[in-house]
Structure 1
Amino acid sequence: MKKGLKFLLWSDAWANLALGMLGPIYAIFIEEIGGDILDASWAYFVFMITAGIVMYLVSNWEDSVQHKEKLVSFGYSLTAVGCLGYFFVDSQTGLLIVQIILGLSMAFLSPAFDALYSHYVIKNQEASDWGKWEAMGYIVTAVAAVIGGYIVHIFGFKILFLAMFTAAVIGTLISLFLFKKEEFLNQI
């Protein structure tokens, strides 16, 4: 596996850890800020529609960006901002703002990530290289779900959001290694 893939996997693992800690208990958080199941549905809608529309609009532009690692790092840093934003959410409006930030992070991050990942995949190892990314996503998110539940059970949501922010920052910092020279990143 090329070093470029390793950095992408580690960055994404930390981002998955960050976001995965909230996933299964998201609706409980919505209730804590006075929301209900419809508020949770609308928040998810805002995230998905923001990510989808903006991704559609910027992905063609991203093809022309020479240094896609900048977009990857930018996307991860927006993820960190979104995770920290949860710390300050006390209303549905605040929640929707955070969902927009996270939607923007995915819109900028995902196409650039996929392009870079494809660039570093070794010929005739496409299935195993992509399989490593898929497996990492499931495994890290599974572990994150349990960690997030325990953090909230013991310390509450505020500490969870700080833990999410910390994990997202680590992912962002790891993504900065993608700025190394191409020769280094292509090494196995």
Structure 2
Amino acid sequence: MRKPIILIFTLSLLSSLCVGLVGPIYPIYVLKRFSATIIDTGILYAIFCIVAAVFKAPAGRLADRQGKVKIFLLGVFLGVACMLSYIFAYDVIQLYVIEFISGVSYALQRPALLALMADLSNRKNRGFMMGFFDSAYDIAEAAAAVLSVVIVSQLGFDALFYTCSCCQALSGILAVKSGKTFRR
């Protein structure tokens, strides 16, 4: 039981690193690299949030029917594609498309990850496990926020997006390698 829990925490940490690395620095990236306005940054973030909110419940149902690891991997694949797309984007309109797909990616990953965590807990410790799981997510996101500033100031935005792509890809590789661990 311990190995699957460590694995799910690792997947969560890698996922939150990606969110934490991009989140705080994203508005600066949009304003510096594109002819964008502050309004664009707000709309881009709103698109991500709305799309994620709309797709989370259907993605959760899909995870129940098709398998949590499969749906998580689909989200990871889209996430890697989105992170790499930021490097090659040259127009703010492209960012709107990337944010839409990013929202779908997050919507696929998060419910699957939460469902895997719920599967690994029992009635007696479910609240504790979920709290611990979410606290680990928040701590990693906070550390990543600081790390993002260091990466961008020393290496630039492209390095940040490559780092995020690697975090996403690594979480996918771990999920594939340990798919049997999650099956009951």
DSSP 3-state at the match of 1:52: helix
Aligned to 2:48: 47
Aligned to 2:75: 75
Contact 1:2 1:121 in 2 (8 A): no
Structure-2 change in CA distance of 1:177 and 1:124 (3 Å): farther
Aligned to 2:61: 60
Contact 1:35 1:92 in 2 (8 A): yes
DSSP 3-state at the match of 1:34: coil
Aligned to 1:109: 109
Contact 1:20 1:141 in 2 (8 A): yes
Structure-2 change in CA distance of 1:181 and 1:60 (3 Å): closer
1:89 aligns with 2:89: yes
**Equivalent-residue separation in structure 1 for 2:112 and 2:72 (angstroms):** 6
Contact 2:52 2:106 in 1 (8 A): yes
Contact 1:76 1:172 in 2 (8 A): yes
Q: Report the TM-score when normalising by structure 2.
A: 0.89
**Residue type of the alignment partner of 1:92:** V
Aligned residues: 183
Aligned to 1:141: 141
Long gaps (5+) in structure 1: none
**Equivalent-residue separation in structure 2 for 1:45 and 1:143 (angstroms):** 24
DSSP 3-state at the match of 2:24: helix
DSSP 3-state at the match of 1:146: helix
Structure-2 change in CA distance of 1:62 and 1:164 (3 Å): closer
Contact 2:12 2:113 in 1 (8 A): no
Deviations 1:103-141 (A, max 9, x none): 111222222222221111133122321122111111111
**Residue type of the alignment partner of 1:171:** S
Task: Report deviation, 1:51.
Answer: 1.4
**Equivalent-residue separation in structure 2 for 1:129 and 1:15 (angstroms):** 18
**Equivalent-residue separation in structure 2 for 1:181 and 1:14 (angstroms):** 18
Instruction: List aligned pairs for 1:2-41, cutoff 5 A.
Output: 2-32=2-32, 33-41=34-42
**Equivalent-residue separation in structure 1 for 2:102 and 2:38 (angstroms):** 20
Deviations 1:132-159 (A, max 9, x none): 2111111111111111101111111111
Contact 1:7 1:177 in 2 (8 A): no
Q: Report the TM-score when normalising by structure 1.
A: 0.87
